[in-house]
Amino acid sequence: MTDNIVSTISRFLTPELISKMASATGLDRTIAHKATAAAVPAILTSLADMAAKGGGARQLANAVAEQPADLLGNIANSLSGAQQMADKGASQLSALLGGGMPGMLAATIGKFLGIGEGPMRMLLGLVTPMILGVLGREQRAQGLDANGLARVLSGQRDEIASAMPAGLARLLQESGVTAGTAQDRAYETPRAAPLRVANEGAAPSGRANWAYWAVPLLALAGLLWFLFPREERTVEAVPVTQTTNLPTRTTGDVPAKVTFLTTARDDWTSIGASPNEYTNQDVYNGAGENLGTIRDVLIGPDGKAVAAIINVGRFLGIGDKEIAVPFSALHVQRQGDSRRIVIDAVKEGVQAAPTFTRRASTKP
């Protein structure tokens, strides 16, 4: 399976199809879009978990083989009987995951998005045949047997996890719906490992015993301080005016590891539509990955830029959110006549960053 499976499925989720799903489930089109973006990676993760268990690979292959060969070509027309298709998809999902799991999946995603379990359950039923149809098409194209299909699906766990809206993967794990991935666990807040005192040899002195406990705890406190967002971090201020372009940061030094901001100070204001060199420009990391697009620049009371607001997209084009970084984190790389805005961050870290909350004074 050469293509990312989530990207392959996304090509079938046309605006027309999303609109029909929204109408069938009674959801607003925008909400249906978000719900579909959450449902696809959640179902794929659950199927990967199931296929890894004894007999699961054969069970998945049998379900895939039952899908009509022309399902994907006629998927939009198939929604003319939406309730029948949803019932069939829900039955297939129940057979694969177990009777109660689809309900738990629908309830968890519904809670995450703030919608009812009923519409979410129907949407899962509509999406499931499409997912199985894509898996079947790729299985036939690659000539895979049941175990080969399971291995390929398992091999894309990290890609599937990165397509999931931030926070949903952990909620699914806590609900017992999915087992999670190494990438999911990488986003968890570090916890202190249980400390055990060895019984061998002489008992440590009081001072040694104090150090045994204190050193790991101090190290943990330092790590948590570094990882948690700090809204009031001091940033380098760069002079700007709202009638001219923002100054270009062309220093040769690599920018410091970026810290994400969560809210704006009351005295920060938006630069709005004023002409500048940053707004609506794409942001990259050192590896050349596109991380998002700068939507606004905030300035402090002294007229200097203090933060850049970046719109971060996700798979399926859904789940966009705004994050913010200190303006000092931006670094411009030039190659001939071209320029590129760079921050020191990985794509997964940016997608997992906290959403930035605008105050009234910072709205453009």
Q: What is the DSSP string of 343-354?
A: -B--HHHHHTSP
N- to C-terminal Cα distance for the chain? Answer: 44
Query: What does each C-alpha distance from 278 to 107, 265, 273, 335 come to in angstroms?
Result: 41, 21, 11, 17
Query: What does each C-alpha distance from 257 to 90, 321, 345, 350 come to in angstroms?
Result: 45, 21, 7, 12
> Distance between CA atoms of 306 and 329, rounded to whole angstroms?
10
* Confidence (pLDDT) at 259: 87
* Confidence (pLDDT) at 86: 84
CATH number for 238-362 (one of 2.60.40.420, 1.10.4030.10, 2.30.30.240, 2.40.340.10): it is 2.30.30.240
* Confidence (pLDDT) at 65: 87
> Distance between CA atoms of 203 and 197, rounded to whole angstroms?
9
- Whether the CB-CB separation of 79 and 85 falls below 8 Å is answered with yes
Domain boundaries, given as residue ranges, for the chain: 5-186, 238-362
Model confidence, pTM: 0.50
* Confidence (pLDDT) at 77: 60
* Confidence (pLDDT) at 233: 39
- Please give the sequence-ordered ranges of beta strands (E in DSSP) within the chain, or none if there are none: 238-239, 269-270, 282-284, 290-299, 304-312, 321-326, 331-335, 338-342
Q: What is the pLDDT along the chain (364 residues), one digit of tens a residue?
A: 446 888 888 888 888 888 888 888 898 989 989 999 999 999 999 998 888 888 889 999 998 888 776 666 666 565 667 788 888 888 989 899 887 888 889 899 988 889 888 899 999 988 898 888 888 888 888 888 989 888 988 888 888 888 888 888 888 888 777 765 444 433 333 333 333 333 334 444 444 444 455 556 666 665 555 555 444 333 333 333 333 344 444 444 444 578 889 888 888 988 875 667 888 888 998 888 888 899 899 998 888 889 999 988 654 445 578 899 999 999 888 877 788 999 998 888 888 888 888 876 666 6
> Distance between CA atoms of 311 and 358, rounded to whole angstroms?
13
* Confidence (pLDDT) at 323: 92
